[in-house]
Amino acid sequence: MRQHNLFRVYLDKVCEQIRWKKAHSVVCRELGDHLEDEQATLVESGFAEDEAANQAVLDMGDAALVGSQLDRAYRPRPAWGIIAVTAVLMILGYFARLYIIQHAHSLYVVDITRSLFWLCAAIIVMVVGYFLDYTILGKHPIIICTGFAIALILLPFVYELMTYSLHYYAIYGMILIPIIYAGVLWWWPYQGYGGLIGSYLSLWILVIVGLVFRGSISIFVYGGVGGLMLTAELIKGRFKVRKSCGLLILYCPVVLMFIWLWEAVSKRLLYILQPEIDPTGYGFQATQIRQVLESARWIGQGNHTTDYIPDLVNSNMLTFFIHQFGWISLVLVLLLFGALLAFSATLAIKQKSRLGRMVSMAILLSLAVEGGIYIANNLGFVTFGFPVLPLLSYGNAALLIDSFLIGLMLSVFRNDDIVRDPIIAPKKIPRIKITMERLP
Amino acid sequence: MEISKSLLSGSLSLLLLRLLEEEDMYGHQMIATLRQRSDDTFALKAGTLYPLLHNLEKQGAVQTYKKTAETGRLRIYYSITPEGRGILHDKKTEWNIFTKAVSCVLEGGQACATA
């Protein structure tokens, strides 16, 4: 049904008073529905259509007054706590790199002017993420997911055309897997065991495609974040299946994979705990880190040399600072990083929109996993993946992607008041019936 | 007799939360129920209702969801949250103290003196 002209004029007047443009559609929809309800009631009680429309508008009250009251109710909500901690971490990261370049040897040459350029670029990318409409992840999940998968598949083929560094940096794209999967999982309209298996398969497709792109074990870490989100949805009853059976479906393949790869996995776990027995030589760095940390003090410089630890600027920045200033450096990083995660978790849990909650949780978990791996590596546990301490180290591609993700998370929190989940009618994957008939 | 706006404005959120304590409602339904229960005394304008509801939502006292009504129209329903129930309890207590005190004053302090 077309909206009455009087209603449109009234709603335009209301919206003129609301400064936050994104809130206009939410307000217009609700007030418009109310006007139409009121008009229908009046028509039922004997009013003519136009007369009823006029009366409905009069019953609403003064448009300018309503608009100004709604303007006070609808204001974007910047998460100042997160913005402040992010700014502190970014600035600290830049000055930490500057300090290390001047005070430590490093196998990697770092141009501090270039580093400043990346810091500025990261701020711009974060602002872009902040103003981006994150609901696009839920509106076009299949297009985004397919595009991402195609990019991952094609990258090895265009490898020859790319420089090594570009190919290397592209690995950071893996960090995007959890948010892309959050969009798919939110949109996924199928219920029942078929629906659960379908959504699980879509995650596995992303993981397998990631492996094709680059055989990094990190893909399992970010796939694991997606798995956690799927588990949470299952436990909340999203798929309307028995939870114990659903958990069996989700975790049987994981257990089977572990059994299949047990020899390699058990060795890897052993080398994490005892890096000195690693025959491949990867444990050397962890052994050196442990020796440096053994001599570290609570406050003040340790006695052991850091000369045998490569890449102090990036991969082992935290080890260097523990050596240089004491364990207090680790405490400071844990406090700042913990504050970022705690502020984000508090807001993510409170999100009214399920999509907002899922996207912000996906970003939060990705940052937590990244930071956890980095800190473990810097404490002498050679884990796996690319060690990145969000916003602190590295300073280039990883900083850009993490800044974008934090910007996107801030966009979720900012738009909490106006993003509402649409109703998606649950579907069951249709069963295919195959019947055989005897030919005459 | 028409009730003064200033008298009503302070107690509107109490009335709305009380309605939502019974069942989830949409805006139009709230206005109609309020009018009916108050014998047409509280004839609330929609323009007053929605800003108030949106502020209650911001405080976390109510939450919204969409539901298709029998007529086929998609409506935004409001439901009270546990936090909203706490606010309602506090507001009720506040209201009882306030009305009792007003009665005491209006009756020349006699009701309070005997209590």
Domains of chain B: 5-114 (1.10.10.10)
What is the reported pLDDT for A165? Answer: 55
Question: How far apart, in Å, are the Cα atoms of A321 and each of A71, A325, A327?
Answer: 49, 6, 8
Average pLDDT over residues B61-78: 80
Candidates A48, A30, A123; CA nearest to A83 is A123
Residue A129 has pLDDT above 60, yes or no: yes
Alpha-carbon dihedral sign for residues A251, A209, A314, A90? negative
Residue B2 has pLDDT above 80, yes or no: no
Q: Which of B45, B57, B64, B77 to mutate to test the interface with A (most CBs of A within 10 A)?
A: B45
Residue A111 has pLDDT above 80, yes or no: no
Q: What percent of chain A has pLDDT over 90?
A: 34
The answer to whether the Cβ–Cβ distance between A37 and B28 falls below 8 Å is yes
Adjacent-strand bridge partners of B79: B63
From the list B45, B46, B64, which residue is nearest A420 (CB)? B64
Q: Is the pTM of this model over 0.95?
A: no
Residue of chain B whose alpha carbon sits nearest to that of A75: B58
What is the Cα–Cα distance from A226 to A206, expressed in whole angstroms? 10
Domain residue spans in chain A?
5-75, 80-414
What is the reported pLDDT for A130? Answer: 94
Residue A251 has pLDDT above 60, yes or no: yes
What is the reported pLDDT for A153? Answer: 74
The answer to whether the Cβ–Cβ distance between A73 and B73 falls below 8 Å is no
Instruction: Write the DSSP symbol of residue A45.
Output: T
Tens of pLDDT, residue by residue over A374-430, are: 999 899 887 666 678 898 887 678 888 899 999 999 999 998 888 876 655 455 555
Alpha-carbon dihedral sign for residues B99, B104, B107, B111? positive
Contacts of A70 (CB under 8 A, 6+ apart): A14, A17, A18, A23, A27, B50, B51, B54
Instruction: Write the DSSP symbol of residue A275.
Output: G
ipTM summary value: 0.75
Residue A47 has pLDDT above 60, yes or no: yes
Give the angle subtended at the CA of A5 by the CAs of A3 and A11, to the nearest 5°.
80
Question: How far apart, in Å, are the Cα atoms of B57 and each of A28, A151, A244, A285, B84?
Answer: 17, 42, 36, 54, 9
- Reduced 3-state DSSP string for A328-388: HHHHHHHHHHHHHHHHHHHHHHHCCCHHHHHHHHHHHHHHHHHHHHHHHHHCCCCCCCCCC
Buried-state track A27-57, b at ≥16 Cβ within 10 A, e below 16: bbebbbbbbbbbbbebeeeebeeeebbbebb
Residues of B in contact with A41 (CB under 8 A): 28
What is the reported pLDDT for A242? Answer: 93
What is the reported pLDDT for A40? Answer: 87
Q: Where are the beta strands (DSSP E) in B1-115?
A: 25-26, 62-68, 74-80
Candidates A354, A433, A426, A366; CA nearest to A196 is A426
**Rg of chain A over all Cα atoms, to the nearest angstrom:** 27
User: For residues A384 and A268, is the Cβ–Cβ distance under 8 A?
Assistant: yes
Tens of pLDDT, residue by residue over A306-334, are: 777 877 777 888 999 999 999 999 999 99
What is the Cα–Cα distance from A234 to B44, expressed in whole angstroms? 43
Tens of pLDDT, residue by residue over B28-61, are: 889 989 989 888 888 888 888 888 898 898 888 9
A139-148, A162-171, A317-326, B13-22: the lowest-pLDDT one:
A162-171
A269-278, A329-338, B5-14: the lowest-pLDDT one:
B5-14
Average pLDDT over residues A8-36: 89
Name every residue in B having a CB less than 8 A away from some CB of A: 26-28, 45-48, 50-51, 54-55, 57-58, 60, 63-64, 66-68, 71, 73-76
A63 touches chain B (CB under 8 A): yes
User: For residues A372 and A95, is the Cβ–Cβ distance under 8 A?
Assistant: no
Give the relative orientation of helices B12-22 and B46-59 as an angle to the nearest 10 degrees: 70
What is the reported pLDDT for A144? Answer: 92
What is the reported pLDDT for A28? Answer: 87
Q: Which of B28, B29, B62, B74 to mutate to test the interface with A (most CBs of A within 10 A)?
A: B28
Give the angle subtended at the CA of A317 by the CAs of A311 and A319, to the nearest 5°.
105
Residue of chain A whose alpha carbon sits nearest to that of B74: A33
A359 touches chain B (CB under 8 A): no
Residue A1 has pLDDT above 60, yes or no: no
Adjacent-strand bridge partners of B66: B76
Q: Which residue has the tokens 């997911």?
A: A145
Buried-state track B11-40, b at ≥16 Cβ within 10 A, e below 16: bbbebbbbbbeeebbbbbbbbebbeeeeee
